[in-house]
Every structure is written in structure tokens, then in C-alpha cells.
Amino acid sequence: MTLLSFIATFGLTAGFFVWLIIYLFVLHQEKGGKLVGWLAGFIGWASKKAERVATANNIQSKVDSFIISINTEVEGLLPFGLKVKWISPDLSKDAFVENDRVVVMLNYHSNQDENLARAAMLYMNKAVIPEARPHIHQKLGQAIDLMMTKKALFSFIEARSSMGHFVQTVLRPQTEKDTELKDMCGVIDTIDERGLFTRVLLKELMELGIRRAGITETGDTVFETNEFIKLLKKIAEKERGVDVDPTFIKNNIKIAIIMVARPENVDNPDMYLRAIEERMKKSVQTFYLFARGVRNIEFAKKVTISVAEKFKELAKGHEEEFPTKLQDGTVKNSYCAIFHNRKVV
Amino acid sequence: MLPKKDLEAVHRQDIKALLETWGLLADFEAGKIKCRFCGDVISEHNFGAIFSENKQIFFACSKLDCLAKLPKQK
């Protein structure tokens, strides 16, 4: 009795399945073997596919969530997302060498730490301030990549062990053998704790890169950006009561950081308005108003409103509250408002 | 929605098949393939990346330190 005639006689009943098992594995074992082989092949293909999807999704979703959070600090800082594109093992050698390409190996999705560290590092290398790279010191570029990768991996709360993996296998070995890089990473760490890394340094470098696009670097801008980071370090390390001139006016970067603190029994923003007016006359392009602590933040918001009302040539670009770490390790809420001077060229 | 850029990747499970396609599997298994940056012999356990420059194929080991030196993709 053939398979089809059996189905026609008995239908797809339990008896049919018993008969099918006997037919395939007792009477015609070669057909049973073929079926098992085909099923195993299908399961293997499906599980390979599923493995790739799991590996890629795990990386893409985490990197995307980091991009969203960073872009709330500085719009457009990370201008594109990440898509893992698997290359086929059948790709020809000629096709591969035709253009300069980089293909990273990703491990099974269970090796999450390794995959995330690799992908985050390669992503930062491509995505963070690409236009500004010719105009900054190479060590500063390296330090930015390393610290942005660390920041991203730290933000992957459910996979934070990936940061430990990164620190142990990249950050520490690289900084231990390169003092200059270590110092630069240290500076970035300090300015990041005060909220100045992405909001001020990377924002200014991103804008500088766009303005200087297509212009051959002679070394002047590299010098300027190095001076700029020195100022940010001074501001970040400033002790209470110590004065640091927070204005930086050079060829490309023209900013003023106004640290707003409410003086005792005074609720008048005039001194800050005067400070801004003076700096506007000196062609400051961007004003960053910072404040720390509940009382100062409340006052800084009033200053922000007054600035917007008084100076029509200033356009308010961004305003947010965020946590910062002080020198003694305590965490305090901070505030930042950014104004762009429309009249400066 | 943000535009996406590709991160080209090969899965660990496909490495040997890819090297076989390129005729490099024998060299790989004989320990003749080395990291472009640190010179370590590349095996299945420390495979990091493959990249091409000036029509040549190079390999990088899995140390993130070496991966950090990969050329920037366009």
C-alpha cells in the first residue's frame, strides 16, 4: 500500500501516524533517513538564522537606545543608527577586496559582553564628530572614542558587564602604555562628570567640524581645540569661590560658560544679563548657562527667561536638567540652557 | 527615525566557510594567519575582524585594543 492510497483510505488519523512511522522507519528506512536529514537541515538553517537575528538585535537595540539618550543632550551628535549586516560565507574574495572594507566577527549571542564592546567601539569610531577629526589632536580623537564607548556600555544597564570587559581589555591596556592618552581620558572623565563633555565639548567640536568642512587643516585649529579642552578642565576642576574666566574666544570656537549661582538674599538676574551683554560685544557665539543644586537651578531658569526676553538676537537652543558628580563624589542635579548668537559670523 | 549605517559582520559560525571560499582555510588551520596589528597567530578563538586595503586582505585578532586600530569604514 502506497502512502497516498493509505491517506485516501484512513485519512490523517492516529492510525495513519502509527502507520507512517512504521512505513518510514521500518519498511522504508531510506525514506525515513531522508526525512530526518531534511528536518535536521531545516532546523539547523532556522537556528542559524535565529542566532544571527538574536545577535544583531541585541546590539542594535542597545546602541539605538544610547543614541536616543545622547541626542537629547546634543541634537544630531550621533547622526545615524547601527545595522548589523551579515556577509555571506559565499562572498567572493574579489568582491571583498574591490573596496576597502572592514568586517568584524561577532560571536554567539550568548557572548553579549564581547559583541557589545566590539560593536559600540566600532560605531563610535565612525559616528562621533567625523567632520571634526582632521581638526583635533589624534589623541583627543582616540580619547573621545574610548570615553564614548565606555559611556555607551555603562548605559546598557542590563548588560553592564560589557563595560567591565571593555575597561579590562581596551581602556586599561591602552591608557597604561600611553600617558598622553591616559591624561586625555582623565580630562574627559572629569568634564563628563560635570556635564560638559557631550553638551559643550562634543557639541562645539561637531559644529566646528561642520564649519571647517573641506578646509585643509594647518594645525591652528588643532591648537585651538587643545586650548579649549584645557579651559573645560579648569572649569570642571574649579573649586568653590575660585574665579576662572569661562570665556573662550578664538578663531573657530567662541563660547562663554556662565555658571549661575543665586547670591544670598538676591533674586535679580541683572548681573548675569550684564555678563552676557559684555560677552556678546566680544562676539561670543554660544552661551552655556549652567547651574547646580535646587536653589541655583530655580534661579537659573529665571535668568534664562530674562535672557530670552532681553536679547532677541539670542536663540534658545536647548534646556535640560541632568545629574552631575561633584569633586567630593556627591551627585547633584544640574541645569543647562544654551543660547546661540544669531548676529555672530 | 534615524538613518542607519551598516556594520558589516561575519558570524563566528560562518568563519571557516568564508575562509574556505577564499582559499585561506588551510593557511588558517596551519596557523599562518596573523594579526595585522600585534602579530598574534589568529585562530578560531581569537578571530576579531577581516579588512581589505589596497586589494589585500588583512586580519585582526579579537583584542579590542587591535580592533580599535581597524581602518575607519566609510
- Note down the domain range covering A345: 245-345
* Number of structural domains in chain A: 1
The dihedrals phi and psi of A308, each to the nearest 5 degrees, come to: -65, -35
Per-residue pLDDT, A190: 93
Per-residue pLDDT, A58: 87
Say whether B9 and A114 touch across the interface (CB within 8 A).
no
ipTM value greater than 0.90: yes
Contacts of A117 in chain B (CB under 8 A): 64
- Which residue in A67, A99, A169 is closest to B64 by CB distance? A169
Tens digit of pLDDT for each residue in A266-318?
678 899 999 999 999 999 999 999 999 999 999 999 999 999 999 999 999 88
Per-residue pLDDT, A41: 66
Q: Whose grid coordinates read 549605517?
A: B5
Distance of CA A343 to the CA centre of its chain: 32
Work out the minimum CA distance from A104 to partner chain B, whole angstroms: 4
Q: How many CB atoms lie within 10 A of CB A15?
A: 12
A93: nearest CA partner in chain B: B22
Select from B1, B6, B10, B11 the residue whose CB has the most chain A CBs within 10 Å, as the one to mutate to test that interface: B11
Is B1 part of any domain? no
Is B7 part of any domain? no
Is B44 part of any domain? yes
Per-residue pLDDT, B49: 94
Per-residue pLDDT, A310: 94
Is B2 part of any domain? no
Q: How far apart are CA A259 and CA A292, in angstroms?
A: 9
Per-residue pLDDT, A125: 85
Is B5 part of any domain? no
Q: Write the CB contacts of A276 (distance below 8 Å, at least 6 apart in sequence).
A: A256, A258, A287, A307, A311, A314, A339
Q: What is the mean pLDDT of each run of 10 residues along chain A (345 residues)?
A: 66 74 75 73 73 88 90 90 92 90 87 88 89 92 94 88 88 90 94 93 95 86 94 86 85 93 76 93 94 92 94 92 87 94 80
pLDDT reading at B72 higher than 60: yes
- Note down the domain range covering B62: 12-67
Distance of CA A66 to the CA centre of its chain: 6
Work out the minimum CA distance from B43 to partner chain A, whole angstroms: 12
Average pLDDT, chain B: 90
Average pLDDT, chain A: 87
Give the single-character DSSP code of A83.
E
A99: contact with B, CB 8 A cutoff:
yes
Tell which residue, A140, A119, A325, A126, has the closest CA to residue A236. A325
Per-residue pLDDT, B69: 84
Is B6 part of any domain? no
Select from B44, B64, B66, B70 the residue whose CB has the most chain A CBs within 10 Å, as the one to mutate to test that interface: B64
Is B29 part of any domain? yes
A47-65 core/surface letters (b: 16 or more CB in 10 A; e: else): eeeebbeebbebbbebbbe
* Number of structural domains in chain B: 1
Tell which residue, A70, A124, A142, has the closest CA to residue B5. A124
Is B62 part of any domain? yes
Under a CB-based contact definition with an 8 Å cutoff, are residues A266 and A260 in contact? no
Under a CB-based contact definition with an 8 Å cutoff, are residues A286 and A338 in contact? yes
Tens digit of pLDDT for each residue in B25-55?
999 999 999 999 999 999 988 899 999 999 9
| Helices (H), ranges, B1-54 | 15-21, 25-29
